[in-house]
Amino acid sequence: MGEKTIHDEMRSQLLNKALFEQAKAYAFEYIDSIQGKPVYPTDEAIANLAVFDEPVPETVQNGSDILKQLNEFGAPATTATTGGRYFGFVNGNVITTAAAARWMSDVWDQNAALYVMSPIAAKLEQVVEGWCADLLGLAPDTAMGLVGGTSVANMCGLAAGRHAILQKQGWDVNAQGLYGAPEIRVVVNEQAHGSVWKGLALLGLGNERVEKVPADDQGRIIVDKMPELDAHTLVILQAGHVSTGSFDDFDAICDLANKAGAWVHIDGAFGLWAAASNRLSWLTKGIEKADSWAVDGHKTLNTPYDCGIVLCKHRDALTTAMAATGSYLQQSDDRDNMFYTPDMSRRARSIELWATLKFLGRAGVAQLMDEMVARAQEFEHQLSAAGFHIQNDVVLNQCLVKCDTPQQTAETLARVQASGTMWCGGALWQGEPAIRISVCSWSTTPEDVEESVQALIKARGK
């Protein structure tokens, strides 16, 4: 008697809220320090990560000490993606309303699989399904599923296409698989994103047997090089090339595909939201003629991680491809989210996506995109004036840069990454190293761009 059990401890942690208060204090400290924080962790911060190398604790630990350790050694080893000078990959910032809504939903701890598990998660998923279609200019009855990112969203769209193409030929891929199935052709931009190749591999479609269409100097499919299409073909296009930000010619290619009865999937991880801006929607002209689309919340839209969105013109194709059964799965007449994605249990991403879109509204999504493009074009102009060589037409948020020689480019990139002032990644472009600047944060200001350009000039050393 008298010994405090772990359950007593957990109950008291929950009731007295002290851990939440402590976490809140650390979080606020982090927010207030972000502008002065090195954009990439210092060597010391990284060396200190060794404190996490410990064996599984044998006994119950103190919750407050755990948060303290995380704050002391974890926070300094974060990359400052929520500051204004992180330009790596296509990693977005997070909009405050969405982060706050996420906090609330974390406490709710909802499982979004079925309506009966969380009516609110289902309701908001149904609401954002309509909103996403509306903002992107797609048909109002477009189906949507929420997954971890565009990698999985691409796979879902391709799975829906695989199912539909085979079904038209009397073949049920869910039941019969691919052995002995009628052949599916895959026609894809030779410069498709890595996640597309991975999705093709996972779906049994292979990533070498496909027909790769040559791309131009911006990474866009050369339309004249498109092969003859037919009704057994999956065509994969791209809205936002990961290095140049370029867009395939959806209007022309979808016309070819639709005439032939082929399925078109568009990978629009960060670029598809251009459709929501009057200034940028020329880039996405014709996307509504495709059959499925993938786009991220967590990139240019700046939702919290993780939030990937698959959209499909043919609801049945998506839900049949994602079908699952089980006698205990209590389906309702309302929306059951798990029938739109590969997952069953998952968190309620719909809550923060809804908060993001409700906060921004149509005008806000457009402005968010427009401002990122404006910042990328400031990089273009200032770097060009400073003697850097811009490799791409800066139509979206990507600015791809080289110095005078490959060696100078590589050294400049390494030095700027170590500077702590800004961080961006590299890529190989036309066989040589390039510096890849991706503006993906709502909080990047013209001053952040100027400061980052100065850091690049300094890193170049002349």
Ligand X SMILES: *Cc1c(COP(=O)(O)O)cnc(C)c1O
Give me the residues that bind ligand X (CB under 6 A), please.
Answer: 90, 149-151, 193, 195, 240, 242, 267, 269-270, 296, 308
- CB nearer ligand X, residue 166 or residue 357: 357
Question: Omega before 224 cis (within 30°)?
Answer: no
- CB nearer ligand X, residue 242 or residue 455: 242
CB 218 → ligand X: shortest distance, Å?
14
CB 194 → ligand X: shortest distance, Å?
7
- CB nearer ligand X, residue 250 or residue 388: 250
Return the DSSP state at 334: S
CB 190 → ligand X: shortest distance, Å?
14
Contact between residue 166 and residue 172 where contact means Cβ atoms under 8 Å apart:
yes
Alpha helices by DSSP H, 17-171? 18-33, 43-47, 63-69, 96-108, 119-136, 150-168
- CB nearer ligand X, residue 145 or residue 149: 149
CB 269 → ligand X: shortest distance, Å?
3
Q: CB 81: neighbour CB atoms within 10 A?
A: 20
Residue 338, phi-psi category: left (phi > 0), alpha (psi -120 to 50), beta (remainder) = alpha
Instruction: Choose among 39, 30, 126, 106: nearest CA to 444.
Output: 39
CB 189 → ligand X: shortest distance, Å?
10
Q: CB 44: neighbour CB atoms within 10 A?
A: 9
- CB nearer ligand X, residue 154 or residue 421: 154
- CB nearer ligand X, residue 243 or residue 412: 243
- CB nearer ligand X, residue 166 or residue 236: 236
CB 386 → ligand X: shortest distance, Å?
27
For helices 349-385 and 96-108, angle between their N-to-C axes, nearest 10 degrees: 150
CB 146 → ligand X: shortest distance, Å?
12
Q: What are phi and psi of 461, to 5 degrees?
A: 85, 10
CB 296 → ligand X: shortest distance, Å?
5
- Please give the full DSSP string across 245-287, using - where no structure is assigned: --B--HHHHHHHHHHHT-EEEEE-TTTGGGGG-TTTGGGGTTG
- CB nearer ligand X, residue 193 or residue 335: 193
CA pair distance 443, 426, nearest whole angstrom: 22
3-state secondary structure of 433: strand
Q: What are phi and psi of 154, to 5 degrees?
A: -60, -45
- CB nearer ligand X, residue 90 or residue 459: 90
Provide the CB-side half-sphere exposure for 198 (13 A, CA): 11
Return all residues near 241 (Cβ < 8 A) that are at least 6 apart. Answer: 191, 218, 219, 220, 247, 398
Return the DSSP state at 239: B
Residue 430, phi-psi category: left (phi > 0), alpha (psi -120 to 50), beta (remainder) = left
3-state secondary structure of 186: strand
Distances in Å between the Cα of 447 and the Cα atoms of 299, 417, 452, 453, 454 are 22, 19, 8, 10, 11
CB 188 → ligand X: shortest distance, Å?
12
Q: Which residue is nearest to ligand X (CB)?
A: 149
CA pair distance 160, 155, nearest whole angstrom: 9
CB 86 → ligand X: shortest distance, Å?
15
CB 240 → ligand X: shortest distance, Å?
6
- CB nearer ligand X, residue 90 or residue 184: 90
- CB nearer ligand X, residue 198 or residue 315: 198
CB 417 → ligand X: shortest distance, Å?
20
- CB nearer ligand X, residue 299 or residue 402: 299
Q: What are phi and psi of 441, to 5 degrees?
A: -120, 135
